[in-house]
A and B are shown apart, each in its own frame.
Chain A
């Protein structure tokens, strides 16, 4: 199985400031034949199911605010919230979909400082 490790486990950021979450995979999730990274990011607010934010490491899902951005390639990825809003308080998960089982990271909790 590909192991996904996120850092930090939690962070507190002031409103309007940048939040950065890292995700590292135990093996590359870059498929050489199409040069795509099989990496997604989700947001989960309390009492709600997860919501897809980003796929192919950097493609925003329809309707996702542009303050959310994804970057990285191979084994190292980053989710950036450009200007934290109160409604962004949530747990964020990365997921590799390169090969089954399609494993998730352990989650990163984002709070307001």
Chain B
């Protein structure tokens, strides 16, 4: 079964760092782009960026460039999303998702279950 399994929910304080993960299985992890999508409470979907696990080629939305870092470790079929200094406004559900094909521009056909990040003092 093709699946993406994300790390668990986190509660952090403003200014803290965080790295969440997304582990792929059931397919060739290095073939497909993996992306991250933010969903703030009660709001819509926001595309944050994508990474190609084979060479870590990464593209960011301008809205998220410099705010987060997307990375991947192909040896363990895992992608990451990290923050160096969290803000309360980072409170949201974060989904990882896989592209439908090997193309850089593609919809997401496989989604992780989501990781809820709560940032509060």
Contact = CB atoms under 8 A, between A and B. Distances in A.
A98 B107 CA distance: 10
Of B50, B59, B95, B108, most A-chain CB atoms within 10 Å: B108
A100 B111 contact: no
A104 B111 contact: no
Contacts of B112: 49
B58 to A, nearest CB: 11
Contacts of B61: 1, 100-101
B60 to A, nearest CB: 8
Contacts of B108: 50, 52
B46 interface: yes
A86 to B, nearest CB: 23
Q: Taking chain A's interface residues, is the majority helix, strand, or loop, or is none over half, making it mixed?
A: loop
Interface of B: 35, 37, 44-47, 49-50, 59-63, 95, 97, 100, 104-109, 111-114
28 contacts: A1-B61, A42-B107, A44-B45, A49-B95, A49-B97, A49-B111, A49-B112, A49-B114, A50-B37, A50-B97, A51-B111, A55-B107, A61-B109, A91-B44, A93-B44, A95-B45, A95-B107, A97-B105, A100-B47, A100-B105, A101-B61, A101-B63, A102-B35, A102-B47, A103-B47, A104-B46, A104-B47, A107-B44
